[in-house]
Structure 1
Amino acid sequence: MATLLPTVPYWVFCVYEPLSIFGGFAIAILFPELFVALQLPDTEVTELSPSNKLIAWQTGNLFGIMAMMGIAVLFATTEPPVVKRYLVALLLGDIGHLTAVWWVMGSYEFFAAHRWSWFTWGNVGMTMFLALARVGTLGGLLGEIKLQASNDEKAKKAK
């Protein structure tokens, strides 16, 4: 267990987020044409130029790095400021990501959640969820970022 995060942020940032990012990695690397086509609604899957395939693969590679970095930081550090700065950096990345998608999709498609595909829910909806979870965690609404008592310590205190 990541020792500094309370229960809900632990499950969001140490379990769900790395798994979902790994899913993005896998789609980008294994199915780059699909990955590119799914970025915007109503886009057909077509053969990619070598340059576009390279960009999809590089994006997938970045997803892989992000998943490994999250696991490395959240499971290794014993310093709350490190976790907080990590979450702030990702929150800024979430804002940049959402702004770029909004800019390209346009307001109507971006805010028409009832029209979103499963991929858009992952790309936009889950990014919004993660951003809100980061704000809630940083604001202390989901518990305090601190050294958490292990199950052994909790059992000793209960006796």
Structure 2
Amino acid sequence: MQLLVPAKPQAPRFNQANILNQNYFTKRQYPEDSISHNKMPTIFPTWPHVLFGILEPISLYDSPVMGSLAPVFDLDGFINGQTPHLAGPSIQHPSSVALAYQLGNLYHLLFLVGVAVLHTSTEPEVLRNYLIALTIADVGHVYATYVAMGLDAFLDVGSWNALTWGNIGATGFLFVNRILYFLGLFGQARAPKVTHKNE
């Protein structure tokens, strides 16, 4: 009498190409143009992505004039340049030094938050709310500069230095572009399409 030995079960074979395009735990498959691939998604139209997702974060991080590294490059210039119409002190008060470095740290924080939100979020509402927060902050930034400079110096554009152009000019430019985006002139962010397919 011949004994039948059951066949040894074989482990499932995985195709490497399928692994890149399939999640075996959720059985979810992604199309080629979806968010599954190893590249940062962007759901912004081209110009808002370039301006808010690339140029603005770069200016917040490594601009020697008003970025997070500005106090490191030139502490006295960063502090005294906030009010170009006034002569700065020969020795900075410790409070001014602390505020300058804290402001630089806030710029660095905005850089990190901007990159995290704009380059990873796939929800249009998240991007819109983020831009609304920045729009409100734009107004506060320009107003703070106005309070420090006074009306006459604020309106005397010819006497502005590079830092003033950053605080007022660049901020105003970003503010206007955010408003135009809200009005739909550049198009709207769209969530990526994800298809589901059960095996």
TM-score where L is the length of structure 1: 0.85
Is 1:6 the equivalent of 2:6? Answer: no
SS in 1 for 2:163: helix
- The alignment's C-alpha RMSD in Å is 1.8
Where does residue 119 of structure 1 map in the other structure?
163
CA contact (8 A) 2:82 2:163 kept: yes
CA distance in 1 between partners of 2:191 and 2:155 (Å): 39
Unaligned runs of 5+ in 1: 150-159
Unaligned runs of 5+ in 2: 1-39, 194-199
CA contact (8 A) 1:19 1:67 kept: yes
Where does residue 76 of structure 1 map in the other structure?
120
CA contact (8 A) 1:2 1:10 kept: no
CA contact (8 A) 1:14 1:70 kept: yes
Aligned equivalent of 1:132, options 176, 179, 182: 176
CA distance in 1 between partners of 2:89 and 2:117 (Å): 36
Deviation, 1:147, is 3.6
Identity percentage over the alignment? 35
Larger relative contact order (Cα-Cα within 8 Å, sequence gap ≥ 6): 1
CA distance in 2 between partners of 1:97 and 1:53 (Å): 19
CA contact (8 A) 2:122 2:192 kept: no
- The structure with more helix, counted as a fraction of residues: 1
Alignment of 1:17-28 (within 5 A): 17-22=56-61, 23=63, 24-28=67-71
Where does residue 154 of structure 1 map in the other structure?
none
TM-score where L is the length of structure 2: 0.69
Larger Rg: 2
CA contact (8 A) 1:34 1:45 kept: no
